[in-house]
Amino acid sequence: ETGVTQSPTHLIKTRGQQVTLRCSSQSGHNTVSWYQQALGQGPQFIFQYYREEENGRGNFPPRFSGLQFPNYSSELNVNALELDDSALYLCASSFAPGQGADTQYFGPGTRLTVL
């Protein structure tokens, strides 16, 4: 167990809807990263938050947005859902910003299905 939790475990939405996914980081971890993993693919970096500020962003449109809170929790919001948004969404926490200099601890993921 990494101490990183995500909710919900599974979620089904329809095209055009909005969704909020939640992550609770390990205590003391100031950095949270979100990834999208399509079936049979490796994770794709969405963005990272460090001390409640966005600290880097991958090649994802603005309808993907996030928030990080002082209590080590964070959210990923996706507006105007598209079928291609169906994937496993992973969050990972670490002490330091950047992504590889420090070990990241991953949550179990949220499986999002868009119909």
Partner 1 sequence: KQEVTQIPAALSVPEGENLVLNCSFTDSAIYNLQWFRQDPGKGLTSLLLIQSSQREQTSGRLNASLDKSSGRSTLYIAASQPGDSATYLCAVEDGSNYQLIWGAGTKLIIKP
Give yes or no for residue 98 binding partner 1 (CB under 8 A): yes
CB closer to partner 1, 15 vs 74: 74
The answer to whether the CB of 24 falls within 8 A of the CB of 5 is yes
* Binding-site size, partner 1 (CB under 8 A): 24
Give yes or no for residue 7 binding partner 1 (CB under 8 A): no
Phi–psi pair at 82, nearest 5 degrees = -120, 160
The distance of closest approach from Cβ of residue 46 to partner 1 in the complex, given in angstroms and rounded to an integer, is 11
- Residues of span 50-89 touching partner 1 by CB under 8 A: 56, 58
Give yes or no for residue 32 binding partner 1 (CB under 8 A): no
Using the 8-state DSSP alphabet, how is residue 26 labeled? P
Cα angle 99-63-70, degrees, rounded to a multiple of 5: 50
The answer to whether the CB of 111 falls within 8 A of the CB of 9 is yes
Q: How far apart are CA 93 and CA 6, in angstroms?
A: 12
CB closer to partner 1, 44 vs 73: 44
The distance of closest approach from Cβ of residue 27 to partner 1 in the complex, given in angstroms and rounded to an integer, is 18
Of 14, 17, 18, 41, the one binding partner 1 by CB under 8 A: 41
